[in-house]
Amino acid sequence: MASDENKPAGQAPATLFLSYARADRTRAERLADALTNAGYTVWWDALIEGGAQFAASIRKALETADAVIVLWSKNSVDSDWVRDEAALGRDRHRLIPLALDGTRPPLGFRQYQAIDVSHWRGKPDAPQIAAIHRAIAAATGQGPVFSSTAQPISRRGMLAIGTGAGVLAIGGGAFVAWRSGLIGPAQASGLSIAVLPFRNLSGDSDQDFLSEGLTEEIRAALARNPALKVLAATSSNAAHDLGDDVKSITRELGVKYLLEGSVRRAGDTVRVSTDLTDGKTGFSQWSQTVDRKLTDLFAFQSEIAATVSNAMSVRVATSAPAPGGTHNVRAYENFLRGRALFNQAKDEESDRQALALYELAIAADPKFAMAHAARSRALSAIAVQYAKADELKQLYAEAITAAHKAIELAPNLAEGHLALGFALFTGKLDVAGARPFYERAYQLGRGNADILLLYALYCSRAGRPEDAREAIARAVALDPLNPRTYRASGSIDYAARRYADALPPLDKALKLNPKITSANALRGNSLMQLGRLPEARAAFDAEPQNMFKLTGLAIVDRRLGDGAAAKKAYDQLVSEVGDAALYQQAQVLAQWGRSDEALTALERARAVGDSGLIYLSTDPLLDPIRDQPRFRNLLNAIART
């Protein structure tokens, strides 16, 4: 990058090159006067001294100007001079296009939204001049020398710049554009943004992890500011199904701004282009492109995240720096690859591959706290979903150790506290011991929908329904297109015995993802408690997760009077899932009235560390044995753990 792209305050005023057609000279002169009076140094061909070499003077001025302002009109679009001058400005990333009469710019320049000055009548405080000031600040890092106050925003916005080579703001000084008022004086409570998935333009799908990782870094950096509403990943990623109209997307997602971008890797160089769009107007408000060497990968990602986060934050609050990172390229690349695999939630093989990549990241940088936290979550996920009974204790022990290490390295890493709380709760069934870590994760990650979701489920299962409802409502607001969020909301209402209230969010979850696991089972349980048995059976029959499906069918068929079908479902549950479904066996036996066998199954479940026991205190299906002394002893033992 050129050395003049981030000029400090107090340096000489920005030098502007004014390009126009001879027929538009009167209007060009009026604009030159306004900009000169504002404190800029304006170069235009009227300044060329007699006898000077015309072309050489223009070339020198173009190459040294801080910004090139082009006046597009019906006269200038056909001018070879204006086209050439605009091309030099574009190639230097210094182009600021203005529209004099609404004429479309020529091919090669139409991706740059021009500032409309067709109705400007020469007033220095007009919105059009304010927009030009902001454009200059974005391109150069400088405003008028006499003014240190941001100008009010034009409703029209400033520049709509694509993600190609031509950009307006470059490098570390790019967030000057934000400081100059490009976002407008939005109140903190209403400042909301969705970070859409960055596109991988490298032509190599193996590099998807890089674009996905950068998207998450920016989203996480923004979410650390409690004054911002940052839409979560699932809802943001679902925006591609909403079409291309920015206004429609922001209206559907419930946000004011969209941040989009692309990543292109070529050898050891990475180029990232970003673009912020105002959902109300549909116009681009800010854009930048940054080139970095791959060896600067971590610093490069952090720089982009900090630029966007800090720029948003100047309107509301200061965003906290990201804790728990690394400056080791190999460590970070393995971490990103692992996270991309883990987020797929595809199967046991992909989760174990993610675990292996996290371990490679830790091997490259043992002090990489985020990798330790991610390793803990992967270990817990494998334990919950795939492990055999005799593997559970070892997996959870490793998960707890990894989470402790993450917190030791980065005490303010929300993901570390969340990982430890989750491992203690699901692995050790330690309700009390897990609480301080869930609470700390909640304090540090109130802008993170995934943290809110897991915190809400913990509160629900720990008998704190009001706290659970408050947290899940925040999660839904941040992630309105995530079926997991609605499934959790339904689960919380079901545990609170609000069976009718549980149905709408469960229906919403299934509408968003008809194949989501356990939502049909929860819906069936709610319908069964409401006495709507045929509907409940249909819901259980539609459940894709066999363990939950067979459990529900064994109970509802018995209630419907089909004992043979109920026994068949129960026998299949035992034979196919075995001791990994001891908790579900207890649910069936309790509903069948076989209390002693149900209690024995629960005691065996505790002996092997069955994570299903986290539902023990709130599970309606265990109500028939809730007053039994053995049940109370088991519940008290878990509460004291």
User: Would you list the DSSP string of 324-358?
Assistant: S----HHHHHHHHHHHHHHHH---HHHHHHHHHHH
Domain identity same for 13 and 147: yes
Domain identity same for 56 and 201: no
- Contact between residue 167 and residue 286 where contact means Cβ atoms under 8 Å apart: no
The amino acid sitting at 247 is K
Q: Per the domain annotation, does 253 fall within a domain? A: yes
Percent of the chain with pLDDT over 90: 37
Q: Does position 176 have pLDDT exceeding 80, yes or no? A: no
Q: Does position 291 have pLDDT exceeding 90, yes or no? A: no
Report the pLDDT averaged over residues 616-640.
91
Domain identity same for 45 and 122: yes
Separation CA 348–CA 354 (nearest Å):
10
Structure confidence at residue 45 (pLDDT): 66
Report the pLDDT averaged over residues 135-161.
42
Q: State whether the Cα torsion 36-41-45-49 is positive or negative.
A: positive
Which tokens belong to 332? Answer: 């970070």
SS3 280: coil
Domain identity same for 179 and 103: no
Structure confidence at residue 348 (pLDDT): 83
Report the pLDDT averaged over residues 331-344.
84
Domain identity same for 49 and 88: yes
- Contact between residue 516 and residue 483 where contact means Cβ atoms under 8 Å apart: yes
What end-to-end distance do the CA atoms of the chain give, in Å? 58
Q: Per the domain annotation, does 180 fall within a domain? A: yes
Q: Which residue has the tokens 């100007």?
A: 65
Domain identity same for 278 and 152: no
Is 0.85 topped by the overall pTM?
A: no
User: What single DSSP character describes residue 183?
Assistant: S
* 379: enclosing H helix or E strand: helix 369-385
Separation CA 134–CA 140 (nearest Å):
10
Domain identity same for 60 and 190: no
Domain identity same for 199 and 256: yes
- Contact between residue 472 and residue 456 where contact means Cβ atoms under 8 Å apart: yes
Structure confidence at residue 628 (pLDDT): 95
Structure confidence at residue 225 (pLDDT): 64
The closest alpha carbon to 236, from 193, 173, 175, belongs to 193
**Of 69-83, 224-238, 266-280, 523-537, which one has max mean pLDDT?**
523-537
Report the pLDDT averaged over residues 403-427.
95
Q: Per the domain annotation, does 499 fall within a domain? A: no
Percent of the chain with pLDDT over 70: 80
Q: Cβ–Cβ contacts within 10 Å for residue 338, how many? A: 25
Separation CA 161–CA 21 (nearest Å):
24
Domain identity same for 302 and 170: yes
Task: Answer with the residue of higher pLDDT: 21 or 175.
Answer: 21
Separation CA 66–CA 17 (nearest Å):
8
Q: Per the domain annotation, does 187 fall within a domain? A: yes
Report the pLDDT averaged over residues 536-560.
96
Report the pLDDT averaged over residues 204-217.
81
Domain identity same for 60 and 26: yes
Structure confidence at residue 469 (pLDDT): 94
Q: Per the domain annotation, does 432 fall within a domain? A: no
Q: Among the listed ranges 55-64, 212-221, 379-388, which one has the minimum average pLDDT value?
A: 55-64
Q: Per the domain annotation, does 62 fall within a domain? A: yes
For residue 68, report the phi and psi dihedrals to the nearest 5 degrees.
Answer: -115, 110
**Residue 457 burial (C-beta neighbours within 10 Å; 0-12, 13-18, 19+):** buried
Contacts of 2 (CB under 8 A, 6+ apart): 92
The closest alpha carbon to 249, from 264, 231, 265, 271, belongs to 231
How does 87-113 read in b/e, with b if 16+ C-beta sit within 10 Å?
A: bbbbebbbbbbbbbeebebeeebeebb
* 82: enclosing H helix or E strand: helix 80-91
Domain identity same for 194 and 86: no
Domain that holds residue 146: 1-156
Q: Does position 144 have pLDDT exceeding 70, yes or no? A: no
Q: At which of 319, 338, 357 does a domain end?
A: 319
Structure confidence at residue 301 (pLDDT): 62
Q: Does position 295 have pLDDT exceeding 60, yes or no? A: yes
Q: At which of 319, 340, 362 does a domain end?
A: 319
Q: Per the domain annotation, does 472 fall within a domain? A: no
Within its chain, how far is the Cα of 583 from the centroid? 35
Domain identity same for 168 and 99: no
Separation CA 608–CA 426 (nearest Å):
12
Within its chain, how far is the Cα of 305 from the centroid? 12
Separation CA 229–CA 254 (nearest Å):
10
- Contact between residue 201 and residue 293 where contact means Cβ atoms under 8 Å apart: no
Q: Per the domain annotation, does 118 fall within a domain? A: yes
Separation CA 115–CA 440 (nearest Å):
47
Q: What CATH number does the domain containing 114 carry? A: 3.40.50.10140
- Rg (alpha carbons) of the chain, rounded to whole number: 30
Structure confidence at residue 46 (pLDDT): 52
Ramachandran bin of 357, using left for φ above 0, alpha for ψ from -120 to 50, beta for the remaining angles: alpha
Average pLDDT, the chain: 80
Q: Does position 457 have pLDDT exceeding 80, yes or no? A: yes
Q: Does position 417 have pLDDT exceeding 50, yes or no? A: yes
For residue 290, report the phi and psi dihedrals to the nearest 5 degrees.
Answer: -130, 135
Task: Answer with the residue of higher pLDDT: 472 or 78.
Answer: 472
What is the number of structural domains in the chain? 3
Q: At which of 296, 319, 342 does a domain end?
A: 319
Band of pLDDT at residue 640, cut at 50, 70 and 90: low
